[in-house]
Structure 1
Amino acid sequence: MSTLIYDLDQLYESTFGIRPFRVNGSGNTNKFTHASGSALTTNYLNKEIWLPTKFTALPNTFEKQQFFLPYSVIKISGKKTIVKTAMAERSGTVKELYSTDDYSISLKGFFIDDKNRTWPEADLKAFRELFELQSAFVLNNALTDVFLGGEKRVVIESFDLPEVEGGRKHIRPFDIQLESDSIFTLEVA
């Protein structure tokens, strides 16, 4: 297994340009590592970290009840919409109408068939099915749990499956862009 992890670190660096850090055996497919948010911010600030990711609360039409990505690195970013108004005879602006936009989430990693070392067709088919869902689903990851709170609902906005060099047919890199989704109840008066 350690050879596989070393190869993944090297492959990640050659595909995405940076070598990720491993947390408590996060390259192990048998464990779902879920570090606390405070440990992440204290120990691993500004480092890309191998953090397994799970998608759950999938519709009954989805073949599996969850979709697990053990070899993934996640990044989350957010921004606010602020209306700024310039006032005469005053320096600066008056800020009003604050609102927090959806969080943008980037998920990078690999689909791997590490049992048979063949093309990861089952994972790719399951991912295609996940992408084509017409509903949001739950994202479970140590980093995003801190920001998404209790809802943790996301939708896939776009994805990219970069090419693999060097004859590694059992590994397929992915770069998935997600966006947070909130449930609102619309009341008509």
Structure 2
Amino acid sequence: MIEFNVPPLAGLFLDAFGVKIGGIYRPEASTGKADDPAGLFTGIEIIEDINDAYEMSALGTPILWPILFSKSDLAKKYNNKGELIDFNSQDFRLPIASIISFRRDKIMSTTKVNGGRGSVKEIYGFDDWQITINGFLIPDASQPQGLKNSLQQEKELIKWDNCASRVDVFGELFSVRGIKSLTIKGINFEPLRGKPNIRAYTINALSDEPIELNIKSSI
């Protein structure tokens, strides 16, 4: 059986996505005390049992900002005949080596001021959040749905890309922005040279909120 080692992910993010990940924080650099839990984070509450704060990886390290896809009860997909059928899939915790970026524009109209400077802005609301999830499919013994290798994870992501409706999403980075669901616009996978057990992936999505219409009937 061939075994592969996963290289440091900070370098992979820089090579694949141009994202620079900072170095490891060492408390002794600020206080001179090895493994000092306070370090530069004076005033922040320290949790004695790290398992109470984070989901843990197979290596015993915390997983920061995990992302969970969960199907909506009304979720659909297209079959081979182009017909809408129920989308049946289990919840999916995205790979642990994933980062998210968010962008949102205001919906506004601007009017130039004759003989003056600047413009008059009329704000009508907010556009959808534009969401980009970049990450790597890597061997992960801690994957809660049992998708422990990169090929299994890629097949699962393709299933979610086939969803023809919104996808419920859970994660603290989404909840602080009021995002409960998203619609996947597209997904792509890229190989990494010399790393056959690792695949880079990118998901482009939009936040999706249900719109309720109240219809008054005269009948």
Give the TM-score normalised by the residue count of structure 1: 0.72
Distance 1:89 1:183, change over 3 A: same
Q: Which has the larger radius of gyration?
A: 2
Greater mean alpha carbon deviation, residues 90-99 or residues 78-87: 90-99
**Distance in 2 between residues matched to 1:110 and 1:140, nearest whole Å:** 19
Specify the code of the residue in structure 2 equivalent to 1:28.
Answer: S
Contact 2:182–2:205, Cα closer than 8 Å, also in 1: yes
Specify the code of the residue in structure 1 equivalent to 2:213.
Answer: L
Of 193, 205, 208, which residue of structure 2 is paired with 1:165?
193
Describe the superposition over 1:89-115 as per-residue Cα deviations: whole angstroms up to 9, x where unpaired.
554322224210000011001112345
Question: Is 2:177 the partner of 1:177?
Answer: no
Equivalenced residue count is: 165
Which stretches in structure 2 are left out of the alignment for 5+ residues?
A: 26-49, 76-85, 142-147
Describe the superposition over 1:41-84 as per-residue Cα deviations: whole angstroms up to 9, x where unpaired.
xxxxxxxxxx4321124447333133432110111111112111
Q: What does residue 20 of structure 1 align with?
A: 21
Deviation at 1:32, TM superposition (A): 7.0
Distance 1:171 1:143, change over 3 A: same
Distance 1:9 1:185, change over 3 A: same
Contact 2:110–2:121, Cα closer than 8 Å, also in 1: yes
Q: What does residue 125 of structure 2 align with?
A: 99
Specify the code of the residue in structure 2 equivalent to 1:52.
Answer: P
Specify the code of the residue in structure 2 equivalent to 1:165.
Answer: R
Distance 1:19 1:94, change over 3 A: closer
Q: Which has the higher contact order (CA 8 A, sep 6+)?
A: 1
Q: What does residue 66 of structure 2 align with?
A: 52
Larger helix fraction of residues: 1
Distance 1:90 1:17, change over 3 A: closer
Q: What does residue 138 of structure 1 align with?
A: 168
Q: Percent identity?
A: 22
